[in-house]
Amino acid sequence: MLDELTGGDPERVEKRLDLVRELLLVPDEPAITEIVQAYIRHRVMPADPGGDARYLLLASHDKCDFLVTWNCKHLANANKFGHIRRVNTMLGLFVSALVTPLELIGDDHDEAERPGHR
């Protein structure tokens, strides 16, 4: 998973890696691999055990409130969320909200539309 952080401008690579150095990542254990394979088997995620299935597993395993992603095809996709929720529930896993960064930060119009704001 760190492969995605190591591409591009070397100065930016170092900054990105500094941000994640202290994170505790889920180890490659048989149980973890089984869950990733269940996501793939139940067609929740594409057949790439190092990609989207692993990201979903990390968020579910660590009970993250949100998995923030620009991946609207496989993760932040309202059409897939029910399927993801069913499979996670079947596996006994937490169900994180799958959102894009824009869904979290909103936009300038959100502030103006709140009661009491002008």
What per-residue confidence (pLDDT) applies to 18? 78
Give 66-92 pLDDT, tens digit per residue. Answer: 999 988 988 998 999 999 999 999 999
9 domain-assigned: yes
118 domain-assigned: no
pTM of this prediction exceeds 0.75: no
- Number of domains into which the chain is organized: 1
Instruction: Round the average pLDDT of the chain to a whole number and report it.
Output: 81
Q: Which domain holds residue 102?
A: 2-113
**56, 45 in Cβ contact below 8 A?**
yes
CA 13 to each of CA 2, 5, 16, 36, 81: distance values in angstroms, whole numbers, following the listed order: 10, 6, 5, 27, 32
What per-residue confidence (pLDDT) applies to 9? 85
Residue 32 CA to residue 84 CA, distance in Å, equals: 17
Give 41-66 pLDDT, tens digit per residue. Answer: 999 888 876 678 888 988 898 899 99
Mean pLDDT in residue range 10-29 = 72
